[in-house]
Copies of this chain bind each other. A is one copy, B any other.
């Protein structure tokens, strides 16, 4: 598509689960659903305008310089020296502040859509860097543990954040996920402050043993090992209290057959990895019921395969360069 592009491109960017129990700040995976949809239309005038946002209850800034997707798109235009501009329509399919990588999805959607609509052909590392610029605006974080799996799909380990050194990990066939999003809000910055600046050495050792074993389990499709490794002794013990009903939901997930269950990102959503979508389809309502019983809190649930694909163009119109 380099050098030609389209008049209009629609992309889908999936939800992502960061941390994945033992991989705090370095590991994430993509779901197949839900996600954000973004429509980019080329404009002769340079720069970025946001023409519409739906699904956010009016809460996201419409000004491109203050919007995650707008900042990511602008970063890509600048990085590639593009002389045209774009108009963005963003349809939020992900709830805000849910711990499901919503701002990463919007940022990645923007860079993939702008790259495609203007035919920029930017390399992956440039797309990643520009999406991170947008993500940073929203969350203050420069960790690519949501952005990288949203862009690439599957499980992605970030050995290093800056410069990004990303390692794609295999997805065992059939691996699926139950997501429960309690109708609560957890402020990412507050969740991060709870962690403090140091960690007991023994807990850190425990955590890296689990992460090493989880990586091995993914390569070997060893579901039992994956299950034993999905244990967070660093962040979850401090953050679980932010989500009423956490323990009840986790217990319900494991009793219903999940391999493991923990906070998605900094919460309030929980994820439960499962051997199959059929197991995940039992796990999600069991978790929702436990949440209602234990804390009287309502929630949304999703059941999805781990998504091997990442963000992709779903529709492109007017392939001729119509400027």
Please list the residues of chain A having a beta carbon within 8 angstroms of any beta carbon in chain B.
22-27, 157-160, 165, 167, 169, 195-202, 204-205, 207-217, 219, 225, 228-229, 234
A44 CB → nearest B CB, Å = 44
Chain B residues whose CB sits within 8 angstroms of the CB of A225 once the complex forms: 159, 167
Chain B residues whose CB sits within 8 angstroms of the CB of A196 once the complex forms: 201
CA distance A217 to B196 in the complex (A): 31
Question: Quick one: given A200-B198, A211-B211, A228-B165, are A157 and B205 in contact (CB under 8 Å)?
Answer: no
Chain B residues whose CB sits within 8 angstroms of the CB of A204 once the complex forms: 199, 204, 207-208, 234
A209 touches B26 (CB 8 A): yes
Could you say which of B165, B197, B207, B216 contacts A215, with CB atoms under 8 Å apart? B216
Chain B residues whose CB sits within 8 angstroms of the CB of A27 once the complex forms: 212
A205 touches B25 (CB 8 A): yes
A212 touches B24 (CB 8 A): no
CA distance A228 to B160 in the complex (A): 10
B26 touches A212 (CB 8 A): yes
B209 touches A159 (CB 8 A): yes
A213 touches B25 (CB 8 A): no
CA distance A165 to B206 in the complex (A): 12
Chain B residues whose CB sits within 8 angstroms of the CB of A212 once the complex forms: 23, 26-27, 157, 159, 167, 208, 211-212, 214-215
Question: Quick one: given A199-B201, A200-B197, A213-B167, are A228 and B159 in contact (CB under 8 Å)?
Answer: yes
Q: Which residue of B lies closest to A24 (CB)?
A: B205
Chain B residues whose CB sits within 8 angstroms of the CB of A199 once the complex forms: 198-201, 204
B24 touches A210 (CB 8 A): no
A224 CB → nearest B CB, Å = 10
Ranked nearest first, the 3 interchain pairs of A and B with the lowest CB-CB distance are: A208-B208, A159-B213, A204-B204
CA distance A209 to B195 in the complex (A): 18
A213 touches B24 (CB 8 A): no
Chain B residues whose CB sits within 8 angstroms of the CB of A22 once the complex forms: 208
CA distance A234 to B205 in the complex (A): 10
A208 touches B26 (CB 8 A): yes
Interchain Cβ contacts under 8 Å between A and B, 11 examples: A25-B205, A159-B229, A165-B228, A167-B217, A197-B200, A198-B200, A201-B234, A208-B212, A211-B211, A212-B212, A215-B216
CA distance A22 to B209 in the complex (A): 10
A164 CB → nearest B CB, Å = 11
CA distance A90 to B234 in the complex (A): 43
A207 CB → nearest B CB, Å = 6
A232 CB → nearest B CB, Å = 11
Chain B residues whose CB sits within 8 angstroms of the CB of A198 once the complex forms: 198-201
CA distance A245 to B162 in the complex (A): 30
Q: Which residue of B lies closest to A170 (CB)?
A: B219
B208 touches A197 (CB 8 A): no
| 9 other A-B residue contacts (CB within 8 Å) besides A23-B212, A26-B212, A208-B211 | A25-B205, A157-B212, A159-B229, A160-B209, A160-B228, A167-B216, A198-B199, A199-B199, A199-B204
Q: Which residue of B lies closest to A159 (CB)?
A: B213
CA distance A27 to B208 in the complex (A): 10
